Structure 1
């Protein structure tokens, strides 16, 4: 590579929760005038990359179309029900079974390899679930940083009992939804969770699929150094974690992991959206309901949320981001309560959360939502959706910043109204959220992450 060239290549899956933090980081570097920025992801996200406006362009490198098995947005209803079922282990198992086929990475690996050979990056910034990109970086000996939009322990804790882990053996295993201080029964459940995960891969049906991994690795020329759950951690130059101390259970965080807080773009993110901001200006107390891009609400759940708004009428306004395909479950407009405002799409969730009229964030508690709500000092009410959402939910309760619905799958209006009312009226929730807002701002966010990137020895 020409010694004067120092290209930086971002790589991410197309899922919004994984992609968005890197869009913010790429935008920060572009705004600083950093040259030769590239972003590799799936073709449907081309416009998002091309929409980054700064002093220097961010070039798009296409990884082709979305692989349906790898994108939760495209899963069929049966798969969606399996990965969001109440049983924590069965949901965890369903996700792994659906996504662990080694053949799924071949197309992306080849596409990224073509891009890498063209760009010759000095540094790669890789979203933590893009394991094909980690394998390629390790194989080609390209320095890389890992982007982690989850809690730190999510990527540092082993899912099986005999693998390397950066946390203690009794630490809550990811996706279990178990607390740090466990009862005797919960400690047994935690151990069994890991054993069952190991047994799942020893099952004949899945082990037959996984037997293809070795031959595929040899065919692709993947280095043996890329093997193992912790290869992405051990081989990373640095790990960018969008969290702060105190939002995860305590454990010794490795020096290479840098806690920079939520990745929030410059605000207002949608300065021309006066329609929604003017409405917020007129309200005293707003509950913002936003359950991410993956959540699929059924008719009875939608109607239960409408009933929640009805019961809060006269006390709080409700702003609900509800996709158009789920709005067909709503009652006629004339029957909706007057305090309910429904938006198909919110131009900027950051702008909404930043508004002082918003008093609580009613969320599924994905990794980004958990941290972003608290960045703006908003306490949470949580309807966890799947896998890591339950981990964030239990931590939020333990840290005094949120309450979780008793039965998220059924959406009981009595329970929802009770949780929202308690979080809004008990000032301790807001006080704790404000403390974490200050801590996140001190962590530096996008500016701190960009500084770490530019300080990389590979760019010198």
Structure 2
């Protein structure tokens, strides 16, 4: 490698929740005309990577087509139902079983290795779920920065007993949706979750998978790794949240809480139809349930009825994927206060609009932090795993309410939660206070300074 070159290689799985914060960071470095920027991800994000080159170019490096087992968006309906079931542990176990596939990780490892051979990065910036990229960085002794789109305890809490963690004993295990502190029954449930996790890996089926994973890693000279290895071996961890949105604990110094990764706004022209419509309203509920959510006919019907009951008081802007819109009633029978869009030019522009008063969301890491960033209180319909954790924190910090029966989308429950959040000033006040802290954390600008200050780029 030319001694003057210091390539930075971003690596992410294609999911919006993982890739989007890194795309914002890559764009910020491009805006500063930082040379030798590369972004490795799956083919469907090629166009998104190219768009980040607003100053210096950001080169796309392909890790191939999407691997179904590693991408929740591509899971079939049976798997989707399993990973979004009401039992927190069974849903968590289903996610592990469907995504913990050593052979498929090995495919990505080799594709990324070819990229690394070409780019010869001085530094890698990796989303925290891309284990294959972390393994490659460790095996090649390449310094790496970890990107975390969740609250910090999500990656600092042990999932099984007797293993290393950075949070206090008795802290809620990720994906349990439990509060902190807990009642005695909740503490028992939390401990049981850890023990059931351990038991899951001791079954004959999972033992074979673990043995295969250990053989694979040994072949790359890595050895056994734990979930905390990604933290311990990272030079720096960029967390897209703030301490005030997590339960209190001592956060390691290498974890830098930079807040939500938001690009310069507006992202889209303010002369588009959605923006003009928002300008004309006085109170809008924005409903967006992420890229993974697949609503049923009953849930779509419930959402339409919720909107109908809000007519005369609030407008509803509902981002509903085009492939699910066939479940809507005929256009002429939709409530007059409902606007359905399959795509909005920018969700961030919508959340930033002053006439949007509440965000009805699935509670994923990006949406949760972005909603707070713009000072919007939330109503949360948790979808799976980490969504329950964000929902618990939002409720406890007074910025959101959670549906009692998220899977049912009970109309009375939704109306109750939306009305309480809209009409109780403390929800907005708390969201605005935490939003100010989010913005003060610096987001993309702070993250860019931290990356550029890494010794590998000196």
What is the TM-score normalised by the length of structure 1? 0.99
- Using the alignment, how far apart are the partners of 2:43 and 2:401 within structure 1? 38
Cα distance between partner residues in 2 of 1:192 and 1:218: 32
How far apart in 2 are the matches of 1:129 and 1:163? 19
1:169, distance to aligned residue in structure 2 (A): 1.8
**Residues 101 and 210, structure 1, Cα contact 8 Å, conserved in 2:** no
Q: 2:142 corresponds to which residue?
A: 142
1:287 aligns with 2:285: yes
Check whether the contact 2:270–2:276 (CA below 8 A) recurs between aligned residues: no
How do residues 42-121 of structure 1 correspond to structure 2 at under 5 angstroms? 42-121=42-121
Are the counterparts in 1 of residues 50 and 58 from structure 2 also a CA contact under 8 Å? yes
Choose from 251, 254, 268 the match for 1:253.
251
Match of 1:16 in 2: 16
The Cα shift of 1:407 comes to 0.1
CA distance in 1, matches of 2:230, 2:440: 27
Q: What CA deviation, in whole Å up to 9, does each residue of 1:55-101 have, x standing for no partner?
A: 20000000001100111111011100000000000000000011112
Unmatched tracts of structure 1, length 5 or more = none
SS in 2 for 1:212: helix
SS in 1 for 2:349: helix
Q: Are the aligned partners of 2:28 and 2:444 in contact in 1 as well (CA < 8 Å)?
A: yes
CA distance in 2, matches of 1:273, 1:373: 23
Find the partner of 2:432 among 426, 431, 434: 434
Structure 1 residue 181 displacement after superposition: 1.8
Take 2:431 and 2:234, find their aligned partners in 1: how far apart are those partners? Answer: 32
Residues 243-289 of structure 1: CA deviation (Å, up to 9, x unaligned): 01210001110000000000000000012652111100000000000
Aligned to 1:392: 390
Task: Give per-residue Cα distances to partners, 1:347-384, cap 9 Å, x unaligned.
Answer: 10000000000000000010001100000000000000
* Residue number in structure 2 paired with 1:414: 412
| Residues 136, 222 of structure 1: 8 Å contact kept | no
What is residue 329 of structure 2 aligned with on the other side? 331
The answer (yes or no) to whether the contact 1:143–1:237 under 8 Å persists in 2 is yes
Report what 2:452 is aligned to: 454
Which secondary structure does the structure 1 equivalent of 2:244 belong to? coil
How far does the alpha carbon of each residue in 1:384-418 deviate from its partner, in whole angstroms, 9 at most, with x for none? 00000000001100000000000000011111011
The 3 A distance-change label for structure 1 pair 7 and 425 is: same
* 1:161 aligned residue: 161
Q: Which residue of structure 1 aligns with residue 260 of structure 2?
A: 262
Q: 3-state DSSP class of the match of 1:352?
A: helix
Cα distance in 2 for residues equivalent to 1:292 and 1:80: 14
Q: Structure 1 pair 237/273, CA: closer, same or farther in 2 (3 Å)?
A: farther
Structure 1 residue 229 and structure 2 residue 227: aligned? yes
* Among candidates 302, 305, 324, match of residue 304 of structure 1: 302
Aligned residue for 2:371, secondary structure, equals: helix
Moved segments of 4+, more than 2 Å: none
The Cα shift of 1:2 comes to 2.3
Aligned equivalents of 2:432, 2:312: Cα separation in 1: 26
Q: Indicate the SS of the match to 2:243.
A: coil
Residues in 1 aligned to 2:169 and 2:195: alpha-carbon distance in whole angstroms: 12
Question: Contact 1:135–1:222 at 8 Å: present in 2 too?
Answer: no
Displacement, 1:222?
3.7
Task: State how many pairs are aligned.
Answer: 458
Question: Residue 218 of structure 1: CA displacement?
Answer: 3.0
**Deviation of the 1:307 alpha carbon:** 0.2
d(CA) in 2 for partners of 1:274, 1:45: 24
Query: Partners in 1 of 2:240 and 2:74 — Cα distance?
Result: 26
Moved more, 97-106 or 346-355: 97-106
After TM superposition, give the deviation of residue 144 of structure 1 in Å. 0.4
Structure 2 gap ranges (5+): none
| Cα deviation, residue 163, structure 1 | 1.1
Residue 363 (structure 1) aligns with? 361
